[in-house]
Structure 1
Amino acid sequence: MSFVHLRAHTSYSLLEGALTPRKLASVAFEHEMPAIAVCDTHNLFGVMEVGQCLSEKGIQPIPGCSLLVEFPGSVLGEVGFIVRSEVGYKNLLALISDAYMGGADLDGAVVKLDALRGRCEGLFLLSGNHKGIAHKLMAMNKLDLLREYLSALSSVVPGGFFIELQRVDAPHELRIEQELIAYAYDAQLPLVATNDIYYATPSSHDAHDALRCIAQGEYLEDASREVLAPCHFFRSASEMMTLFADLPEACENTLAIAQSCGFFPGTRDPILPRFVDGGVDAENEELERQALDGLRRRLAKKDSEVDEKLYADRLLFELKIIQEKGFAGYFLIVADFIKWAKEQAIPVGPGRGSGAGSLVAWSLTITDLDPLEFGLLFERFLNPERRSMPDFDVDFCQDRRDEVIQYVQERYGSDQVAQIITFGKLQARAVLRDVGRVMGMPYGQVDRICKLVPNNPANPVTLQQALDEEEALRLESQKDEQTQRLFDISLQLEGLYRHASTHAAGVVIGDRPLKELIPLYRDPKSTMPVTQFNMNWAETAGMVKFDFLGLKTLTVIATAIKLIAEKGINIDIQTIPMDDKKTFSMLGLGHSTGVFQLESSGMRDVLRKMQPDCLEDIIALVSLYRPGPMDNIPRYIECKLGRAEPDYLHPILKPILEETYGVIIYQEQVMQIAQVMSGYSLGEADLLRRAMGKKKKDVMAKEHEKFVARAVERGIDAHQAGFIFNMVEKFAGYGFNKSHAAAYALIAYQTAYLKANYPLEFLAALMTLDLGNTDKLAIFCDDVRLLGFDILPPHVNHSLHDFSTEDGKLRYAMGAVRNVGSSAIRWFINERNNHGPFKDFDDLVSRLHPESVNKRAFEYLARAGAFSDLGVDQATILGSIDLIFSEANRIRTDELVQQANMFADAGSHKLVLRRPSRQLTDFERLEHEHQSLGFFLSGHPLDAYREQLDQEQVGYYKQLVADAESAPSKGLVAGLVVSVQERKGQVNRFGIVKFSDKSGSFEVPFFSDVWTQSKDKFIPGEVLVLFLQVEWVDGQPKVRAESVRPLERSKAHALSRVELLIDDPSALRDLRQVLQPGGCEVFIRHRCGEMGCETLFQLPARYNINIPTRHAILAIHGIGDLRPY
């Protein structure tokens, strides 16, 4: 073979390459390529992964990439960089890292020509492909500069520069080739033949064309766009040699280049900075000093006497292993930034993952759980018999996490610290949307198709899986030629990388500038470096990952403590009593909404049954409440409450299983059982646990034999030992990490304590951290009322940006009102702080600054009732927004004139508002409230029908469920449809519909015939009457819907007039399809764009404007708002 590809691209050439690394390796193997150079566009993202995939196929990987080089006159041209030695690889790392850190983004890493001088040793440079300098100059009619530019480029890499030729039907290709060949012969430079490979076969050209359109925001049918010729597939060596039969040396030189390249980056041992000078011994001594000092301080704070020797022995045991493995520096680094965070009063979690099992970590205050007190195992965290890095995941307050990362940068050097890159893929729904868009398909059609693809972010399905499982999707995909093409292209592009972003938590720290070890990239939104390798490949390259996680619950706790401090009560969350009766009483009642890890309806039900009375119960519950282990919850509860006897399997296991009443819950218990029964060391037991989790039959057969034999040696019956092994193996598959459960159970207890003892402050903090989540805010408001507190509506004289407490009530936050930005909120708060509350509405308007508070923010505050008690009713304010802002602007202008001329007369003008013909009905007021807050706060639409519902004996859902606790019940309930989900059962499809009534929100499943007959009625916003049967089974209500019907509403509840604000006249066409005859007048207010004028006219007929119709109207493109009057 006399040809090797030097311009292969993978999916890491974002939205350009359509070959995954594994697919590229397979295609190269099929073509019997001995080597291949991967030259991804402007990055080295995939160099490690591609290298491994190629090596597995026996193909020599050659690292490389293309970069934009800036020539004189600011002309940019792509140049190929190919690594031939370790020195070349290091030079390329520095070049690409500097290019990004100098301000480049993914549109192009630009290197100035002069910056290449002295930095190209160990590299080959290719003069440029169809995006290179020759084609750029040709497009600029400056081809006469080509020789000058190529000569300059050649001079930076003597003996390593090649004139690159491509025959891909690019514009002016023949003319450019003639110039390049002539220059190469004159300058005695070698030629090389290349072909940019973007996809595998010619049949993939159309899909690749769509991919380029996605990248460029273009449409496939746009005749003016640039379309690549179908030449960028994986051509065989013989095809390339035929293509360049007139220039055989151009093909032979590819082989010469490949034979000259002998370096590929391999796996490195972990690299960390030295925490102290003096090497490993100095770090070992420092760790031992800090750990012993820390343990003394920890034990001195213990309330009861402890066996200090037990702690000292455990500490020395852990230190010995940590020091032998060379991990002292890692522990010191983590302890240092956690100590700094705590000194700055930044909330830090008590632990996460298996790290809480380390006494050294507790002594260094990395964690806040005493592992001996809770029976946590060091070997679960750091196995002495397994070579792997320890891994502390650390939770910080989400608002201040970045401060800790900034400290680490300052501590070790900004060039030695980086975050980790991550890549977003074209997944099933996303690829359909992208391809549908570039095909020019109607948005509504594509949206409808996408919604047929099951949406499960935790376990996303592929498009092919969705087609196999969903008949409706399969039928849709075959509907017509256009839709078939949509699916054909989408299936080819699915799984390719769409964009790069920054990992939410991962940070690496090096012992030298990172660009000497890995390539760096910079997220345009940040100044901090980001690794070009993802988490797994960064670790392969020797980087050690530190996880700085933002945990919202820590911020909730900190916010609640601040609110409590405003009452003069100071709380140290680390020293709260762990046996607080109010806390456990609240949990026993199931009042755990908002409590970390315990807030789901299922958890609340288990809490009521379990009646927890200690932290160990919460640890067990956090561990058990998962698929699989949940089956053991009834057994745990029965034994805990004394209604059943625990089964410890064998007397020697009682000390291990007693705390969990004979139920194997934790991975640590699996390890201890192996230790006690069969004499395993805890390190061996951890390896056994891991093996059990992998469920490999051949491995398990050997382990079973070993476990039983060693148990028999210790005097245990072989049959009983085999039985216990089988039991342990069953539980090991889903046993939970007790260290992690204990740490998170502690946070759960802390939030429960705050809620039980300071409920209003806790809920205000909770709601503040979910300002934009209206679903959660509605649930929390229900909980506030359940606990007996009133909720005060948002008000410009009282509300803050966040939720607050006021005279034993909860004051709603301005920051939770839709379309009200922080600048408007800031202005209201500063204005009333500086000049006093607004006395009345005229006072407010006279002080209003339209540059800080825009019309939309003002309108939505009015909808929310935030101007109540200022002397003007809500309907008048909403009908006079333009007049209000006209007057406010006039006053501001007069003030400015007066400031400029001290003798000027400010003038006076009485604000005249547009008075409506009538006041808002309660129903309309609630509608405004819903539009501004996202849910009903002060009442519920069903209130308007209460008399009618009472006459029809229609009750509340929660009352029906409560009545069913003593005996199965049936009855009618009314509900406002909130959301609808359709799912696929084993036989038929079914639906889960979320409703709302005054007692709260609730979900009802609808099966078989009821779903088929009624699913068209489930329109969000519609009021339905349900006939339900409720029965309590195993402590949970089982609800069955027998029938569904719309509520027959009287005319008194219908709207009589609405005004629609329309920006686009074409919206009228869609409006006609939505409107149905009725009794409501519809007025259209049309905004005339930049001219600033408006026209108002009335539609000729009257229409039925119910809640579903309102939602449909507001969904029409071009309709800005709907105002009921």
Structure 2
Amino acid sequence: MYLNNHSYYSLRYGTISEIELLEMAQQHGCDYFPLTDINNTSACLNFIRKAPSYDIKPIVGIDFRNDAKQCYVCLAKNNKGFFELNRFLSEHLHEEKTFPDQAPPFYHSLVIYPFEKLLASEKTTFLANEFIGVGLTDINKLRFSKLSEFTDKLVVLHPVTFRDKRDFNTHRLLRAIDTNMLLSKLPESQQGKPEHKMYPVTDIKKAFQNYSHILKNTEKLLRQCSIEFNFSKDRENQNLKTVFESIDADFEKLVELCELGLPRRYELITDSIRQRLEKELSLIKQQNFVSFFLINWKIIQYAKSKDYYHVGRGSGANSIVAYLLEITDVDPIELDLYFERFMNLYRASPPDFDIDFSSWDREDVTRFIFEAFGNDGQAALLGAYVTFKHSGAVRELGKVFGLPKHEIDKLSDGKYDPNKLDKLSRLVLKYARYLHGRPNYISIHAAGILISEKPIHYFSATHLPPKGFPTVQFDMHIAEDVGLYKFDILGQRGLGKIKDAIAIIKENHPEVILPNIHNAKPFFKDPNINMMIERAECIGCFYVESPAMRMLLKKLGVRDYLTLVAASSIIRPGVAKSGMMREYILRHKNPERRKQAHPVLWDIMPDTYGVMVYQEDVIKVAHHYAGLDLGEADVLRRGMSGKYRSREEFQAVKNKFIANCRERGEVDDVIFEVWRQIESFAGYAFAKGHSASYAVESYQSLFLKCYYPLEYMVATINNGGGFYRVEMYLHEARINGAIIHVPCINTSLIESTINGNEIYLGFQHLQGLEKRSMVKIIEARVHGLFDSLDDFMERVPLSIEQLDILIRIDAFRSFGKNKRSLLWEAYYKCNHVASDEFQKQLFKVNIKDFVLPEFTITDLENAFDQLELLNFTLYNPFVLLEKPPTSNLLTSNLVSYLNNIVVIYGYLITVKNTGTSRGDRMFFGTFLDQKGAWIDTVHFPPAAKKYPFKGKGIYRITGKVVSEFDFLSIEVIKQERMPYVSDPRFNVTYNRKGLPEKNGMSFGLLR
């Protein structure tokens, strides 16, 4: 009896989940039940998947609406009907067109027009698949309408959107949020009606007791519809099946590519290499994953043809086939990568390939994928749901209730006394709890692209977000459920650094012949690179530059590739928080400690001393320790994170894990400790191949930094830096012998440049300088360098505000005049010439040159100008202190003060905010001492609360010097940010002649 049912994927309208709808339908004794969300098909596949559990035969359709006005409700008679509805909806979403008053002639779908809509239309004829929907409130009008004559066309059309008054209130708030209106101003036309709820079937039959034919028509219409997708474990892989002419041709091509790759990758092709290759090829063919590899190969081939750099990661990095196809640069033979993590007979999904490109290249690669594989509508970006979070929901609800901003801020931040809240504030918090976790809008998965055998509209409608590529309306979990497996194409700044560094090296050192950066094996054995890793001198290098990684590298004493691979996974939150990072370090440094390992775990993971470090360790432990088959073990691994953990499949495997271990004689203390370790880290740890891929990229960037540090730092700066601010990379460049210059109008470009050992900052670093101003300067300079301020102002018309920025940063220093004189000139000339920065002057206007007094610019003034315009200074920040440091202690002295209290001055670089097991806040600080060396601090909760960080600057730190695994840090007892000297630009004194006094300060660069 229910043809028009909305879940909360009728975004900002519905209030009930698709599962709750099924529960309601079961309670009301339904055999058939449709889901018809408004202009959305997000919930359809999961609705179809779950319906049999409730003894419901699912039907799916769409409630087509222009804004909140209902046009017609359509039901798919079968899968073909679902396809045509999705296609129709997508066309209108992509082009942002309104839906026509009459539906197109669908061939496999049923169309139901609302009775009220037809009363106002002139429609008098109906196709075989078209019906008239009569609501409960329409019955009395029906008897007086000519529409009552269409006895075979009349069906019950009663919307189901709410369960109770709370749902209806929530709906009204959602509509107010969606329309950006105050709730009190929300018109009824934007709302549903309180009676749009699921009445018992008996009530509906009673309401239509004089129209039994309508009830029969409705039953008949429902029985015309059915839809099927396979969600079982043996479901068909729905990805594109062939890349070349046929499945056989694809496999022949894959074998051919592997044979071509063998001599490129291996100097000696051993029997173990051959056996591994044959094993993989056999299973890839058996699992019908050949096209998956070939598609990834074609993507890489295109990228290489464009000279795009890439890194292949994920579980696919465990594959020798991927290595030979150059999808990854990780040798699974060298690392003894676990084959079953890559693929096994129980695994329904293909291996993960996370392929990184530089952020600049990624969009073009995505465009290629859509052109190469999506001509028949077979490609789409993967969707993702953005759900309401408590803070955001509070802000949205506060606005629609009309609360002032300060009240909303107070509620959102949780800074209020519950006993002093007024009624409206309590309502905001109440409904924020209801909204929490519900879908708000559809976004785009960070990387996922679907390439299907069937047109993508067979599975979902698509919308067209700003990226300009069709995007499905469901997420990765639903995609996998139905047999669609994503291709992950990601953007990463680290690859941009490598690509740009190589280009800069070739320009700065044209005589140099660089090695093939994709062949990282020689880098693994380079003693200079490995000594650099051991010293943790990795600033700017991918994944190994953060304070936490620097600490780990030193604690472990990393000096080789294999240990760096382990470090890349150990640093992940789960391994660190579970205590396994510390245990690994202990066993790594102390062979005696290794004897404490559980004998079964030692046998399973000898390379990590019996400690779980990688994702595949979950599979190994589950399979060999708990006796689960590989399919169950993989369910366990997948279930350790996200939505999948709550599924019944995961719970069943967890129970079996515990039961099997007990049957094997393991004691509960050991079982639950092993389970705790698995549960604490599996969702955050990397697959070993994934860690190895990270380590390969780390070595690639470390090679460039080791031998070409200045060029690499320039590339790092031009790619947005990394973990740190730009000034840290300039500091690193200076340590390596660079001379840093502020931007110059005759030398600098938009990005930073290098010539020999001199680095010129790019115009892009100037706060407030507009991109169009930068472009004007570069374009004008094509016709020759500037020789005076007049020449510049004539050729580059800028506003005085833009000119002021360039003068104050000293960009005109090549003219031989100090910037105060130039500022006087510029302001005088701009005040006497009508200046329009978009219009060049037709005639050169001669302005009288006045003889200005001799001005003096101090280094202190320059430093403050740089702080304002660059957000950092190229001068030593310590000389900005109001009072000189009372302690000259340096990092290099700390070893002599172990376990003693010291006072040291540090320039704050970064702070990590974390929580203790009790929920208290604590911090890890990173500073530079007065000579530019690292200081690492630990701020336990009492000190963190009493002496909080107060932003950038120099701190006087009092604390105890401690050592863990030979890594020195300071446990802070007290800290205070030291005041800077007053800004001299706003505190100038003048002599009797009216000229500013010289203060005589001189700054040295931070060495």
TM-score, L = length of structure 1 = 0.75
Structure 2 Cα separation of the partners of residues 594 and 893 of structure 1:
40
Q: Give how far 1:47 is off.
A: 1.0
The aligned amino acid for 1:98 is E
CA RMSD of aligned residues (A): 4.5
Q: How does 1:927-938 map to 2 (within 5 A)?
A: 927-938=864-875
Structure 2 Cα separation of the partners of residues 687 and 37 of structure 1:
31
The aligned amino acid for 1:78 is C
Q: Give how far 1:959 is off.
A: 4.0
Change (3 A) 1:724 1:493: closer
Q: How does 1:322-471 map to 2 (within 5 A)?
A: 322-349=284-311, 351-414=312-375, 415-452=377-414
Q: Give how far 1:558 is off.
A: 0.9
The aligned amino acid for 2:401 is M
Q: Secondary structure at the match of 1:15?
A: coil
Cα offsets for 1:767-802 (capped at 9, x unmatched): 21116x895323323333344433222232222222
Question: In the alignment, which residue of structure 2 is the partner of 1:288?
Answer: 255
Question: In the alignment, which residue of structure 1 is the partner of 2:847?
Answer: 909
Cα offsets for 1:1028-1067 (capped at 9, x unmatched): 44433444445444445675788x6687579xxxxxxxxx
Q: Secondary structure at the match of 1:98?
A: helix
Change (3 A) 1:818 1:241: farther
2:769 to 797, 817, 820: 820
Q: How does 1:1051-1070 map to 2 (within 5 A)?
A: 1056=986
User: Which one has more relative contact order, counting CA pairs under 8 Å at least 6 apart?
Assistant: 2
Structure 2 Cα separation of the partners of residues 562 and 547 of structure 1:
27
Give the conservation status (yes or no) of the 8 Å contact 1:506–1:546.
yes
Question: In the alignment, which residue of structure 2 is the partner of 1:546?
Answer: 487
Q: Give how far 1:583 is off.
A: 0.8
Change (3 A) 1:927 1:728: same
Q: Give how far 1:372 is off.
A: 1.5
Structure 2 Cα separation of the partners of residues 246 and 931 of structure 1:
80
Change (3 A) 1:873 1:31: farther
Structure 1 Cα separation of the partners of residues 141 and 303 of structure 2:
65
Q: Give how far 1:562 is off.
A: 0.9
Question: In the alignment, which residue of structure 1 is the partner of 2:993?
Answer: none
1:8 equivalent in alignment to 2:1: no
The aligned amino acid for 1:183 is K
The aligned amino acid for 1:970 is V
1:269 equivalent in alignment to 2:236: yes
1:1032 equivalent in alignment to 2:982: no
Q: Give how far 1:88 is off.
A: 2.7
Question: In the alignment, which residue of structure 2 is the partner of 1:765?
Answer: 715
Cα offsets for 1:154-177 (capped at 9, x unmatched): 54x32532144464xxxxx99xx8
Structure 2 Cα separation of the partners of residues 248 and 960 of structure 1:
92
1:840 equivalent in alignment to 2:788: yes
Give the conservation status (yes or no) of the 8 Å contact 2:374–2:451.
no
The aligned amino acid for 1:46 is A
Give the conservation status (yes or no) of the 8 Å contact 2:598–2:610.
no
Question: In the alignment, which residue of structure 1 is the partner of 2:104?
Answer: 116
Change (3 A) 1:283 1:1045: closer
When the two structures are aligned, how many residues end up with a matched partner?
Answer: 963
Using the aligned pairs only, state the percent identity. Answer: 23
Question: In the alignment, which residue of structure 2 is the partner of 1:596?
Answer: 542
Q: Secondary structure at the match of 2:13?
A: coil
Deviates more, 1:1033-1042 or 1:408-417: 1033-1042
Q: Give how far 1:744 is off.
A: 1.5
Structure 1 Cα separation of the partners of residues 226 and 362 of structure 2:
43
Change (3 A) 1:166 1:988: same
TM-score, L = length of structure 2 = 0.83
Structure 2 Cα separation of the partners of residues 722 and 219 of structure 1:
58
Q: How does 1:978-989 map to 2 (within 5 A)?
A: 986=918
Q: Give how far 1:422 is off.
A: 1.8
The aligned amino acid for 2:395 is R
Change (3 A) 1:510 1:678: closer
Question: In the alignment, which residue of structure 2 is the partner of 1:199?
Answer: 162
The aligned amino acid for 1:806 is N
Change (3 A) 1:497 1:875: farther
Q: Give how far 1:428 is off.
A: 1.8
Q: Give how far 1:413 is off.
A: 4.0
Deviates more, 1:200-209 or 1:591-600: 200-209
Question: In the alignment, which residue of structure 2 is the partner of 1:962?
Answer: 894
Give the conservation status (yes or no) of the 8 Å contact 1:202–1:230.
no
Change (3 A) 1:872 1:395: same
Structure 1 Cα separation of the partners of residues 489 and 236 of structure 2:
22
Structure 1 Cα separation of the partners of residues 167 and 848 of structure 2:
71
Structure 2 Cα separation of the partners of residues 675 and 85 of structure 1:
42
Give the conservation status (yes or no) of the 8 Å contact 1:129–1:166.
no
Give the conservation status (yes or no) of the 8 Å contact 1:423–1:499.
yes
Cα offsets for 1:1008-1039 (capped at 9, x unmatched): 66566566xx6546876554444334444454
Give the conservation status (yes or no) of the 8 Å contact 2:35–2:60.
yes
Question: In the alignment, which residue of structure 2 is the partner of 1:619?
Answer: 565
1:162 to 118, 123, 132: 132
Q: How does 1:904-1053 map to 2 (within 5 A)?
A: 906-910=844-848, 925-940=862-877, 943-945=879-881, 948-950=883-885, 953-954=886-887, 959=891, 962=894, 966-971=898-903, 973=905, 986=918, 999=932, 1019-1020=950-951, 1025-1037=956-968, 1039-1043=970-974
1:506 equivalent in alignment to 2:448: yes
Structure 1 Cα separation of the partners of residues 444 and 87 of structure 2:
21
Question: In the alignment, which residue of structure 2 is the partner of 1:83?
Answer: 76
The aligned amino acid for 2:174 is L
Q: Secondary structure at the match of 2:713?
A: helix
Question: In the alignment, which residue of structure 2 is the partner of 1:560?
Answer: 501
Change (3 A) 1:1054 1:230: farther
Q: Give how far 1:431 is off.
A: 1.2
Q: How does 1:860-939 map to 2 (within 5 A)?
A: 860-862=805-807, 864-870=809-815, 873-874=818-819, 890=835, 897=842, 906-910=844-848, 925-939=862-876
Structure 2, unmatched stretches of 5+, are 642-649, 990-1007
Q: Secondary structure at the match of 2:437?
A: coil
Give the conservation status (yes or no) of the 8 Å contact 2:903–2:956.
no
Question: In the alignment, which residue of structure 2 is the partner of 1:580?
Answer: 526
Structure 2 Cα separation of the partners of residues 481 and 879 of structure 1:
60
The aligned amino acid for 1:450 is S
Q: Secondary structure at the match of 1:770?
A: coil
Q: Give how far 1:561 is off.
A: 0.9
Q: Give how far 1:484 is off.
A: 0.9
Give the conservation status (yes or no) of the 8 Å contact 2:807–2:819.
yes
Structure 1 Cα separation of the partners of residues 919 and 633 of structure 2:
44
Structure 1 Cα separation of the partners of residues 915 and 590 of structure 2:
40
Structure 1, unmatched stretches of 5+, are 135-142, 168-172, 453-471, 709-718, 898-904, 1059-1078, 1080-1125
Question: In the alignment, which residue of structure 2 is the partner of 1:487?
Answer: 429
Give the conservation status (yes or no) of the 8 Å contact 1:961–1:1037.
no
Give the conservation status (yes or no) of the 8 Å contact 1:596–1:751.
yes
Structure 1 Cα separation of the partners of residues 192 and 604 of structure 2:
70
Give the conservation status (yes or no) of the 8 Å contact 1:954–1:974.
no
Change (3 A) 1:390 1:20: same
Cα offsets for 1:342-375 (capped at 9, x unmatched): 23322121x3122122222222222222221221
Question: In the alignment, which residue of structure 2 is the partner of 1:63?
Answer: 60
Q: Give how far 1:79 is off.
A: 1.4
Change (3 A) 1:909 1:35: farther
Change (3 A) 1:564 1:442: same
Question: In the alignment, which residue of structure 2 is the partner of 1:1112?
Answer: none
Change (3 A) 1:944 1:439: same
